[in-house]
Structure 1
């Protein structure tokens, strides 16, 4: 009888243990379900937060040119500080690819598109598609022609040409022959630079005897142009180059002909290599454009426009520039002529390049 009771009690105990375990499992299951629900809610909230961010599509001509890398980095960093996300696309110097990228941004329904144009005359249809979809478009640095973009932000490109010409006038008061090795003929900025340059030289003793354009901003083409020009005009006094990348090719040819430092060469952009050449004496001047200011302003405008702010409400958009058909609201920044005399103040003290980098091959003690 005692044995029976013991077995009976053991059975009750076993049933109790089983019931307790089952309850714990059920409680654990409820806890897991609750945690899963909470995690899902947190994920949804995070997704909604991401969706609330202004989405900017940035398509860049290519990153072969040094300055576009800096533009991109500052633009993206500024936009993120302002709570936006930037989808950067590299067109790889291909117009069709850039058109495809604009269409991709349209399909993704980004809030604003920023374009550093490969070909200023080939993107108007794609831009108009974006605008038809209700997406504002910013022409960055280079005006997209005949497209009626919502905003244009750049430097005073006509003044870039003027200060290039003025630098040659200052360095060559006796006058002489000048070459113009310009950038891409499809870049609207190139035409504006040329206008400023030509007008400034009009009543001087400097005479342009040779002109060429580096299609697609392919700097390597400049070497052949300079070689050809030197055969016809070996006593050249000055060379105007579309940018500092082109200068690098021009100076190399001059060096091969024992002319580096004897011919006054000017460019634009303030590339590190250009600043090094200036202190070394093989490049006279670069038209420096504070691109970090440009990138920061453009990012701020993009975020504001993507948030629904009208162009008329944007700070410092105080003029218009004609794109060939339309007057485009514009923000225009000023370039600065940088020579050996002011390179320390403008470039180094301004934080654009470090002193040890600029004077890498020259004495600055």
Structure 2
């Protein structure tokens, strides 16, 4: 179902702003000059894009895979590169140390790779070295965590954290169907992170459009242990709940453990991110978990695919525009029992 009109308007405006940022094939520098990332786009068909071209080397660097979603990011990127006989993928060891990741990118630059796909452990900290790569004529594909300068990336691929909150809130509104006294609870991730703030803002906006609000809110830390502790606190302070949105399916393992321990089942729960174990629970329909909102773990894989197109001078064949867009934001769909079979094959294990 569509979101209510006022919320749809906000989303359409946001989408328009993203689509307007289409297609600079130039790797601009702060001085306004261009780099060798300027490539003439000659073809824009499915057949030409799939055809093998000149072999290119792509460097990939991401954070340590200490979370199910991050592990899926890495494995999907490697699997995508394996599809192409004209792509050689160099994978740096995953790290949560920004300085180490900077040195990895500098190695890619020194080795003169053709493109870099980078999910930065800290977008601001990796901005300068990404600009350095762009100035060296190496297109950078920024994944998930944005750099602080537009000159640091040729293309940026993002999930939709605000949209996750909107999707979760809209689903809950639909299920509660006008119950104005409903008690809605929220188990967030790490409150200091912009992504958590965006998810909470989208959730609050969607609830507001159907006359509801968050009655009880706690924050966890994206871990199983943190989810269990936060959920235990929430359940102890809220004797009655109608619906819960938990931001993250990894921490949701602990959330469900706390719910089971408390013997509570008067509410339904919506998850976040889209893990396989959560989707199996939704499919079985034997817990309070009835839906989850996807935060795509395909972003780096998309980055590999787009890096190949950019370096080989190709565009996206389903677009009239002849070049790869400068920014792409992925959708945050709701997975329920009715559509879970569509999403389960690509889900990650938490």
TM-score past 0.5 threshold: yes
Distance 2:61 2:131 in 1: 16
Q: 2:333 aligns with which of 332, 336, 340?
A: 336
Contact 2:247–2:273 (8 Å) recurs in 1: no
Shift in CA distance, 98/299, structure 1 to aligned 2, threshold 3 Å = same
Q: 1:167 aligns with which of 147, 171, 174?
A: 171
Q: 1:129 aligns with which of 128, 132, 138?
A: 132
Shift in CA distance, 176/189, structure 1 to aligned 2, threshold 3 Å = same
Shift in CA distance, 115/295, structure 1 to aligned 2, threshold 3 Å = closer
Distance 1:213 1:128 in 2: 35
Q: How does 1:99-138 map to 2 (within 5 A)?
A: 99-138=102-141
Contact 1:242–1:268 (8 Å) recurs in 2: yes
Q: Shift in Å at residue 317 of structure 1?
A: 7.6
Contact 1:160–1:287 (8 Å) recurs in 2: yes
Q: Deviations over 1:70-123 (max 9, x none)?
A: 333332233243311112234343334333333332333322221223334432
What's the Cα RMSD here? 3.2
Q: How does 1:156-195 map to 2 (within 5 A)?
A: 156-173=160-177, 174=179, 175-185=181-191, 188-195=194-201
Contact 2:191–2:219 (8 Å) recurs in 1: yes
The number of residues matched between the two structures is 287
- Which residue number in structure 2 is paired with residue 63 of structure 1? 65
TM-score normalised according to structure 2 size: 0.70
Q: 1:301 aligns with which of 306, 309, 317?
A: 306
Shift in CA distance, 120/249, structure 1 to aligned 2, threshold 3 Å = farther
Distance 1:164 1:140 in 2: 23
2:96 equivalent to 1:93: yes
Contact 1:318–1:331 (8 Å) recurs in 2: no
Contact 1:244–1:270 (8 Å) recurs in 2: yes
Distance 2:129 2:316 in 1: 25
Q: Secondary structure at the match of 2:239?
A: coil
Contact 1:141–1:155 (8 Å) recurs in 2: yes
Q: Shift in Å at residue 61 of structure 1?
A: 2.0
Q: Secondary structure at the match of 2:213?
A: strand
Shift in CA distance, 242/94, structure 1 to aligned 2, threshold 3 Å = farther
Distance 1:121 1:181 in 2: 27
Q: Deviations over 1:209-231 (max 9, x none)?
A: 3444445x444322222233333
TM-score normalised according to structure 1 size: 0.67
Contact 2:227–2:253 (8 Å) recurs in 1: no
- Which residue number in structure 2 is paired with residue 75 of structure 1? 77
Contact 1:119–1:186 (8 Å) recurs in 2: no
Contact 1:138–1:302 (8 Å) recurs in 2: yes
Q: Shift in Å at residue 289 of structure 1?
A: 5.2
The structure showing larger relative contact order (alpha-carbon pairs under 8 Å, at least 6 residues apart) is: 2
Unaligned runs of 5+ in 1: 1-51, 320-327, 358-365
Q: Shift in Å at residue 274 of structure 1?
A: 0.5
Q: Shift in Å at residue 151 of structure 1?
A: 0.8
Q: Shift in Å at residue 290 of structure 1?
A: 5.8
Shift in CA distance, 336/80, structure 1 to aligned 2, threshold 3 Å = same
Select the structure that is richer in helix.
1
Distance 1:177 1:121 in 2: 38
- Which residue number in structure 2 is paired with residue 352 of structure 1? 346
Distance 1:166 1:108 in 2: 48
- Which residue number in structure 1 is paired with residue 5 of structure 2? none
Q: How does 1:236-275 map to 2 (within 5 A)?
A: 236-259=241-264, 261-275=265-279
Shift in CA distance, 168/221, structure 1 to aligned 2, threshold 3 Å = same
Q: Deviations over 1:325-355 (max 9, x none)?
A: xxx92123323211123323x235xx436xx
Contact 1:103–1:126 (8 Å) recurs in 2: yes
Q: Which has the larger radius of gyration?
A: 1
- Which residue number in structure 2 is paired with residue 199 of structure 1? 205
Shift in CA distance, 220/126, structure 1 to aligned 2, threshold 3 Å = farther
